[in-house]
């Protein structure tokens, strides 16, 4: 009898050992969120590279034959290049490929900047690297890379906003953007060192493309890169926490705080994000599109096609629909307020009704950021989130 019991026990033991583990839909769906986020990141940054290359093409045409129409075409291409990149801003603030170790964010989108670090300004016709032939006899990628933010955080000489300044010049108008003459790039034209100014413009766009390509490659599928570890099943909960930490800090601290509230409260044109081109209002709308896209798992490429996948929204809907409803309602309120803006930001911060609307957008963004925290418990990532969410 004892032998029979032992035999049956052994059969049961081995049967349990050979029994396949039950699938865990919740864990699988968490992994799907991470994969969708990674897919979108790769496509967004790849789009940013493509649009930057279009800008590079127009800049090349312009510096080879400067003209008023050529300069305007470059400005249009710069604005188009901002659309995909502005949506990638949600991929910051958790030490990822854009702003982690060796990240190039400060070379890509650093702001605000001191124009005098690059070129002439009102009151100083010989300021900046362009006009300093003694200390900077050569203008090259390594020179700009080594001197970006070297003196201080505002001594920016690379990235989108450096290019913006080179194309528009200082914004000295209360009703419009900067108005740099195209003859600043014509030998014997306005101001001095026109050839060096052309070279500086070429070098900044070349560097921007290289740095964007570096970030895009970190999100490329099927490669030994940041994405591979990010999607590793063992790291999924940490990766989800990173995403939410980044979204929260970007929405509430960076967007609502640094980029909008400072200028709004001080009524300061100088604190506008795209202060040379007066493009900030459109950038704000695109930042919000990026945030909504990450939550809903949808990105519309520059060619009009859509990339989509399993999202935070789907997970929340399946776990606790009221959470999804709440987040979507907060996002809708933010989108409605920002999309109703009609004036350039530097005018809107002191003109009704846009001033009030900008203030409402700030408040809605803060509520939107707070709503993200409802995802922490249903995703079961509180420990990971609390560990990462430290200043």
Low-confidence spans in the chain with pLDDT less than 50: 1-23
pLDDT at 9: 43
Question: How many percent of the chain have pLDDT more than 90?
Answer: 89
The two structure tokens encoding residue 267: 């009524």
- Tokens 């006899």: give the residue: 137
Which part of the chain has CATH 1.20.1420.20? Answer: 43-222, 232-391
Residues in contact with 162: Cβ distance below 8 Å, sequence separation at least 6, in sequence order: 113, 118, 156, 204
- C-alpha–C-alpha distance, residues 188 and 167, integer Å: 18
- Is residue 98 within 8 A of residue 109, CB to CB? The reply is no
pLDDT at 10: 38
Tokens of 183: 């003859």
94 φψ region: left (φ > 0), alpha (ψ -120 to 50), beta (else): alpha
H or E segment and range at residue 306 = strand 306-308
Predicted local distance difference test score (pLDDT) of residue 23? 47
Report DSSP state, residue 22. P
Contact 82, 88 (CB under 8 A): no
* pLDDT at res. 24: 54
Rounded (5°) CA angle 145-149-150:
85
Picking from 98, 94, 114, the residue whose alpha carbon sits closest to that of residue 106 is: 98
Q: Per this entry, what is the length of the chain?
A: 391
CA Rg value for the chain: 25
Distance CA 225, CA 242 (A): 17
Looking up tokens 């004036």 gives: 343
Angle at 274 between CA 269 and CA 280, to 5 degrees: 90
The whole-number pLDDT of residue 331 equals: 98
- Residue 174's pLDDT is 84
Burial (CB count <10 Å: 0-12, 13-18, 19+), residue 352: exposed
CA-based torsion, 311, 314, 316, 321: positive or negative: positive
CA separation for the pair 321, 315 (Å, rounded):
9
Indicate the CATH number for domain 232-391.
1.20.1420.20
For 43-222, which CATH superfamily applies?
Answer: M75 peptidase, HXXE motif (1.20.1420.20)
């Amino acid at each position: 009898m004892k032998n029979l019991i032992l035999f049956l026990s052994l059969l049961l033991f081995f049967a349990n050992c050979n029994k396949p583990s039950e699938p865990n839909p919740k864990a699988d769906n968490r992994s799907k969120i991470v994969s969708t986020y990674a897919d979108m990141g790769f496509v967004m940054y790849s789009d940013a590279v493509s649009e930057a290359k279009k800008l590079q093409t127009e800049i090349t045409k312009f510096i080879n034959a400067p003209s008023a129409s050529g300069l305007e075409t470059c400005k249009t291409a710069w604005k188009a290049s901002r659309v995909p990149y502005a949506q990638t801003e949600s991929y910051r603030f958790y030490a990822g490929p854009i702003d982690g170790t060796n990240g190039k964010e400060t070379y890509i989108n650093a702001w605000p900047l001191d124009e005098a670090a690059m070129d002439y300004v009102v009151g100083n016709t010989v300021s900046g690297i362009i006009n300093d032939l003694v200390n900077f006899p050569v203008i090259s990628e390594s020179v700009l890379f080594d001197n970006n933010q070297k003196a201080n955080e505002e001594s920016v000489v690379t990235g989108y906003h450096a290019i913006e300044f080179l194309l528009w010049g200082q914004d000295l108008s209360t009703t419009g953007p900067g108005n740099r003459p195209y003859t600043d790039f014509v030998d014997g034209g306005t101001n001095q060192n026109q050839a060096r100014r052309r070279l500086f413009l070429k070098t900044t766009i070349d560097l921007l493309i290289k740095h964007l390509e570096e970030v895009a490659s970190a999100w490329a599928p099927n490669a030994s890169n940041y994405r591979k570890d990010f999607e590793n099943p063992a790291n999924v909960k940490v990766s989800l926490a990173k995403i939410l930490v980044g979204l929260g800090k970007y929405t509430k601290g960076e967007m609502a705080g640094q980029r909008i509230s400072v200028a709004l409260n001080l009524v300061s044109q100088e604190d506008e994000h795209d202060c040379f081109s007066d493009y900030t209002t459109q950038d704000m709308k695109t930042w919000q599109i990026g945030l909504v896209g990450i939550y809903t798992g949808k990105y519309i490429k520059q060619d009009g096609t859509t990339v989509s996948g399993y999202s935070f929204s789907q997970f929340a809907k399946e776990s606790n629909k009221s959470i999804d409803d709440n987040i979507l309602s907060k996002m809708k309120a933010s989108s409605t307020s920002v999309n109703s803006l009609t004036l350039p930001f530097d005018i809107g911060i002191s003109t009704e009704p846009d001033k009030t609307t900008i203030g409402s957008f700030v408040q809605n963004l803060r509520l939107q950021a707070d709503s993200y925290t409802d995802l922490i418990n249903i995703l079961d990532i509180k420990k990971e989130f609390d560990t990462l969410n430290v200043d």
